[in-house]
Amino acid sequence: MSRPGRFPLKGLTRRGLLGTAAGLLSAGWVPRVQAGGQVEEPLANAVKTALSAAIANNAPPRAVFTNIDDRLRYLRWLGAMSERLARRKPDVQTRLEFLETVWYESRRAGLETALVLGLIQVESGFRKYAISSVGARGYMQVMPFWSRLIGDGDPGKLFHMQTNLRFGCVILRHYLDIERGDLFLSLGRYNGSRGKATYPNAVFGARRQWEFKE
């Protein structure tokens, strides 16, 4: 994960430091969290089979809508998110494909799309080829052991955009099921820091930047 930029501290008072911090947060800056990763745990055969099935469908994302209002809302969401992400992903086509895939995979897993975008921001800073100090890979910083447990065993595929996003969303959904819907504990599991507040709070803070209100 990249480190936040350096800021001149000489001569700043405590009030000045607090004001600087408040300004950074309001501008959308989220502090990088200590690198973590999912912890490998034994999976029951039924769970492993279910997770493998959730990963297996390699069809490209296709947004399907039953009415025109839902489709128009989706297009407005796509436009708004594209503007917010432009600085991090300057190429328009790449940006739209990424957002379309995040929307599809988050909905497919029953997750809030803004939450998934916030998690990606904290985990990788939207860098496709990010690798953490513990070996987690890609946008959602998926640990390689997952490709052995529920994939085809090739961790290199975790750098493929849709594969990475699908693994990440399915794993987070799995943790939510284990934690009976407790998002705080589920995010902690995802980062390998269950019960500690730093990581969940960072994701919750980042999520606010990706909420869509018409």
CATH number at residue 166: 1.10.530
Are 195 and 188 within 8 A, CB to CB? yes
20: in domain: no
4: in domain: no
Tokens 């803070």 belong to residue: 205
What amino acid is encoded at 211 in this protein? E
Tokens 């492993």 belong to residue: 48
> pTM of the entire structure?
0.82
Q: Could you give phi then psi for residue 137, rounded to 5 degrees?
A: -125, 145
Please give the residue range of the domain that contains residue 157: 33-210
5: in domain: no
Kindly state the tokens that stand for 137: 């890979």
List all residues 6 or more positions away from 61 whose beta carbon is below 8 Å from its beta carbon: 100, 101, 103, 104, 105, 162
41: in domain: yes
Q: What is the pLDDT along the chain (214 residues), one digit of tens a residue?
A: 433 333 333 343 434 433 433 344 344 444 444 557 888 888 889 999 999 999 987 777 888 899 999 999 999 999 999 999 999 999 999 999 999 999 999 999 999 999 999 999 999 999 999 999 999 999 999 999 999 999 999 999 999 999 999 999 999 999 999 999 999 999 999 999 999 999 999 999 999 999 998 7
Measured over the CA atoms of residue 172, residue 186, residue 210 and residue 32, the dihedral's sign is negative
75: in domain: yes
